[in-house]
Amino acid sequence: MSQPIRANSILPAHREDIELHTADGLTLVGELARPLDREPVATLVCLHPLPTHGGMMDSHVFRKAAWRLPALAGLAVLRFNTRGTTSVRGTSEGSFSKGVDEKYDVAAAIEYAEFADLPDIWLLGWSFGTDLTLMHGLDPAVAGAVLLSPPLRFSQPGHLAAWAAEGKPLTAIVPEFDDYLRPAEAAERFAAVPHAEVVPMAGGKHLWVGDAEKVLDEIVQRVAPSVAVPLPRTWDGPMETGDMNAYADRTTAAFADVPMPRAK
């Protein structure tokens, strides 16, 4: 019997807790979700929003990607906590470095995906994670990148120039009502990367609340173009239910008085 896929629906996949080991000696915690009954067609390495403002590997779009995309799109989804970040999975060693030492975290995640023989590695950055992608993601093993709500806060024009020179696919999905960078300005800023695709999302906001399905469709369309979108909104097989109360203290309101960090 077909059931609607809800925000807390967990579809079948092979899921394993993983640890990443950085070149500067830290252990980071994460999870790898893979299709249960086939080899993945592509891989998402997820780089999460600001940990100082509630961002983590379980930020809701990434959580839904890991819970749905192995079954619906045949993707492998690797999520992890950058240094000093905590989620239900645990706390990664180290401390927040404003995007500087996180270069080792990005490299460790890409290296893990390589050693696991995961195919067609794409970086999926969200907010702070988009800066990490632009700053540290031009690795030979990376096929391309998708950016959600890029604020361009820590990354610099030189990073965009490097992506322009490299020519790897780069898509920025920009909410109409973003708190930091809206579509018109994003188009101007990303003009520095002539091949970059800027996708405005009508009605969207920085945190994508209520728009996760649209965002996942846009991601899949870029990284696995052979998969039909929109993705199914119902599921005929077994389905588990995730805990939606685990992060009640990670809402935007909870961090309203926390100063926004500036680039070093």
Instruction: Determine how many CB atoms are found less than 10 A away from the CB of residue 102.
Output: 26
Q: What is the pTM of this model?
A: 0.96
pLDDT (tens digit per residue) in 90-147: 999 999 999 999 999 999 999 999 999 999 999 999 999 999 999 999 999 999 999 9
Cβ atoms 260, 102 nearer than 8 A: no
Q: Measure the CA–CA gap between 163 and 194, rounded to whole angstroms.
A: 10
pLDDT (0 to 100) of residue 263: 75
Which tens digits make up the pLDDT trace of 248-259? Answer: 766 655 566 678
Q: Using CA atoms, how far apart are residues 230 and 217, in angstroms rounded to an integer? A: 6
pLDDT tens figures, 115-131? 999 999 999 999 999 99
Look up residue 136 and give its amino acid: H
Give the three-state DSSP class for 90.
Answer: strand
Nearest alpha carbon to residue 115 among 67, 167, 43, 15: 43
Place of tokens 């394993």: 16
pLDDT in tens, 152-207: 999 999 999 999 999 999 999 999 999 999 999 999 999 999 999 999 999 999 99
pLDDT at residue 258 in the model: 75
For 171, the 3-state DSSP assignment is strand
Write down the pLDDT at residue 56: 96
Work out the mean pLDDT of the chain and round it to a whole number: 95
**Structure confidence at residue 255 (pLDDT):** 62
Distance CA 132, CA 77 (A): 18
User: Quick one: pLDDT at residue 253?
Assistant: 54
Q: What is the mean pLDDT of residues 20-47?
A: 98
Please report, as a single letter, which amino acid is at residue 120. D
> Quick one: CATH architecture of 8-255?
3-Layer(aba) Sandwich (3.40)
pLDDT tens figures, 208-259: 999 999 999 999 999 999 999 999 999 999 999 998 777 776 665 556 667 8
Total residue length of the chain: 264
The tokens for 205 are 């906001």
